[in-house]
Amino acid sequence: MRTLFVYLPYRKTLAEVNIYNKSTLIHFWEKHHQAKVPLQTWYKITEKAKWKNTNDVKKIYGSADAIGKNRMVFNIKGNDYRLIVAFNFQRKWVFIKFIGTHKEYDKIDASTI
């Protein structure tokens, strides 16, 4: 049996995880320029991750906090910003629920947003 590999020039590497919705991050970093590089870094690490649960996430992001079963809060740029995501580990999906300043984060309920 032979394995055929196809080179796809428009996609350098295949993502392990689908992240919905990157445009949310882009709109945020257009307003908060200091968040651009940290959010891009988070995105690149996350889309290639092979996480099976929140404990796996904590191995990479030790300061991230689990909220409930499949939701986590990430500190972005030294805790200047907060990113809340919901995971579907089985399907390898990540849903961006909230990105905001620490002050904005204090006004929301992270478990229900």
Domain spans, the chain: 18-105
**Long-range contacts formed by 24-28: CB under 8 A, 24+ apart:** 24/96, 24/99, 25/96, 25/99, 28/81, 28/99, 28/100
Q: What is the pLDDT of residue 111?
A: 84
φ and ψ of 66, to 5 deg: -80, 135
pLDDT digits (tens, 9 = 90+) for 60-98: 999 999 998 889 999 999 888 999 999 999 999 999 999
Question: pLDDT band at 58, cuts 50/70/90?
Answer: very high
Q: For residue 5, name the pLDDT band (cuts at 50, 70, 90).
A: very low
Q: Which residues pair with 67 in a beta bridge?
A: 71
pLDDT at residue number 13: 55
Using the predicted structure, report yes or no on whether residue 56 has a pLDDT greater than 70: yes
How much is the average pLDDT of 2-24?
Answer: 62
Tokens representing 12? Answer: 């350098």
Model confidence, pTM: 0.82
Beta-bridge partner residues of 73: 65, 84
Greater confidence (9 vs 66) lies with 66
